[in-house]
Amino acid sequence: MIKEIDNALLLRLNDHFASQIGLHLPNNRLSDFKRNFKTAAREFGMEPSECAEWLLATEVLTKEQITVLAYHFTIGETYFFRDPKVWEVLEDEILWDLVRRRRNEGNKTLRLWSAGCCTGEEPYSMAMVLKRLIHDLDTWHVTIYGTDINPAFIKKAKGAIYGEWSFRVTSPGIKEKFFTHVGAGKFELIEDIRRMVEFHHVNLIDDRTTPASITAGSVDIIFCRNVLMYFHPDQVEKVLNRLENSLAPEGLLAVNPIELLCIPEPMFERLKHPGAAMMRKRKSWAQENDPYSIKPAFTNQQLSTELDFSVTGSKFLTTPPVNIPPAPPRPDVHVTAAREESILNDMTEAELTRQAQRYFDEGKYKECVAHLLKVTASRDAEPARVRLLAHAYSNEGDLGAALAMTDKAIDNDKLNHTLYYVRATILQALNNIPDAISSLRQALFLEPEFVVAEFYLASLLYQSGKNAEAAKRFRSALMLLRQYNENEVLPESEGITAGRLAQIVEALLTETAM
C-alpha cells in the first residue's frame, strides 16, 4: 500500500525547494504542489513519501535532482513577441537609442540576457528585433544569452523548431522572413538568427551556474519576465542582486508589471513606458535630472514584497547528499487503438477526469483531450472541465478547437459566467482583443461581482488605449476586493489572494496615473 504524503511534509518540501531552486508555491496551492511532486517521484523511481524524505535528507540538492524537479515544477508557457507593447518599446525607443549611442562612441557591442527563457522564443525575439534594427549587424559584436533551470526547455530552444502556438501574436511577415516550414505545422528558425543566441542551463539563485562570459557590469538589457512571481521572497532579493550586478551602468531590466511589487527602490528606477515594466540600474546622480525616470509610486513599507508565498520555516536534515538511484526500467507495452478505446470506455467519469489532469500535468495534451472528450455531453458546461480541455487544446496549438469547444459549452449553459471568462482568455490568445473584451462584459453582466473578470477587462481596455474606462474598471475591481478577506483566494485566479490583487491594482493605477 502506498503511503500518502501529508501536508506537513509537503510544506517542508516546498520550503526546501525554495532554498535550492527558488521556486515556491503559496500554501493555498498545496494540491498543485502535491500533484507535481507525485510525477517527479515517479521519475525518481520512488513512492512520494519515500522520495520526500530522501530529498529532505539531501542538504544541497544535486544537479541531477534539480534537473528532475525543474522539469516537473516549471511552466513552459511562452511565445514569440509575448506582450507586443514591450517589444515595441524595446525596438523603437530603448534599442534605437542604445544603438545610436554605441555608434557615436565607436563601440559596436551589445549584450542581452533572457533570464528564464523557457523554450527560447524570447531570446530569439530579441535577435529578430536586432536583425531588423541594425542594417550592418555583421559588423557588430552581439551576444544574446538564453538561460533556464529546466534542461528540457534548453534542449528545445537549441533545436529551434516551433509549432503554430508559438506564433499566436506574431505577424505573418516574421514567420516568412525568419523561419522555414518543415512540415506538420512546424517551423525551423533560420541559422542567421539561431547563431546570435547562446543557451545555458542556469539556476538563478546559484552563482556557480552563471556562464563565465556574464561578468559584473557586462549586460546591457536583461529580460526576467514572469519569473520572479514564482520565487520565494527571500530568493527574489538574491536573484535581483545577481541581475543588478550583471547589468552595465544604466543597464535595463524588464519584468512583468505584477513583479514591480518585488523590486526594491534603491536598486532600480522605474521608467516611463506605459504598458512595459522597464527598470534602469540606478546611477549616482540625482533622479530628477532625468526626464525619462519617475519616482517610485510606492515603497516597500507601503506594499509588502511578499507575494503570499510564506510558509512555516523548518530546519532540514543534514545527512550527506546521496546519488539518485536509477529508475526502474519501464516495460515496453504496445497498446492497440482498440484496447486503448476499451480502457477509456471502462473508466468512470471521475477516473477519466483525474487521469486527464495527470496527462495535462505531464504535458501529454492529446491524451488529456481524449479522456476529457469521453466525459458525457451532459457535463459540457462544467467550467473546470471546459477550462482544462481548452488549455489542453491550446497547448496543442489548436486554438480553433479550444474556442469551438468553449462556444459549444456556452450553448449548453448560456448563463454560466465562468465559461465566458474562459472564452475571453482563448480570444486574447488569438489576439482578438475586441471579442475578448465583449466576452468579459458578458461574464460581468451575468455575475457583476466577478472580480477577476473585472480586473482582466480593465487590463485589456488599458492595452487597447481606453484609459478612462480602464481606470473605472480598475477602481471597480478595488471596490469588489473589499468584500474579501486579504488572504482569501479569489475564484478563477489560480491561487492569487484578494490582498495581492488589490496591491497590483493600486500599483497599476498609480503607475499609469489613471
Q: Coil, strand, or helix at residue 143?
A: strand
The C-alpha angle 47, 342, 392, rounded to 5 degrees, equals: 65
* Ordered per-residue pLDDT tens for the chain, 514 residues: 456 788 888 889 988 888 888 877 766 677 888 888 998 999 999 998 899 999 999 888 888 888 888 888 877 778 899 888 899 999 999 999 999 999 999 999 999 999 999 999 999 999 999 999 999 999 999 999 999 998 889 999 999 999 888 898 888 889 999 999 998 889 999 999 999 999 999 989 888 888 888 999 999 999 999 888 778 777 888 899 899 999 998 899 999 877 776 776 678 888 877 778 888 998 643 343 343 443 333 333 333 332 232 222 322 222 333 333 343 443 443 444 454 555 555 566 677 777 887 777 666 778 888 888 877 644 444 667 777 787 778 766 677 888 888 888 888 888 889 889 988 988 887 778 899 999 999 999 999 999 999 998 998 888 788 888 988 999 999 999 988 888 787 887 766 778 878 878 887 776 555 5
* Beta-strand pair 186-189/179-183: antiparallel
Supply the CATH classification number for the domain 84-289: 3.40.50.150
Under 8 Å between Cβ of 393 and 430 = no
3-state SS track over 250-299: EEEEEECHHHHHHCCCCCEEEECCCCCEEEEECCCCCHHHCCCECCCCCC
Domain with CATH 3.40.50.150 in the chain: 84-289
Bridge partner list, 114: 146, 223
Which secondary structure element, helix H or strand E, spans residue 193, and what is its range?
Answer: helix 191-194
CA distance 482 to 386: 30
Q: Coil, strand, or helix at residue 117?
A: coil
Q: Does domain 382-511 have CATH number 1.25.40.10?
A: yes
Supply the pLDDT for residue 344. 52
Q: What's the pTM value of the predicted model, to 2 decimals?
A: 0.62
Q: Coil, strand, or helix at residue 226?
A: coil
Q: Give the relative orientation of helices 383-395 and 417-429 as an angle to the nearest 10 degrees.
A: 10
DSSP, res 196: T
Domain with CATH 1.25.40.10 in the chain: 382-511
| Contact partners, residue 207, CB within 8 Å, separation at least 6 | 242
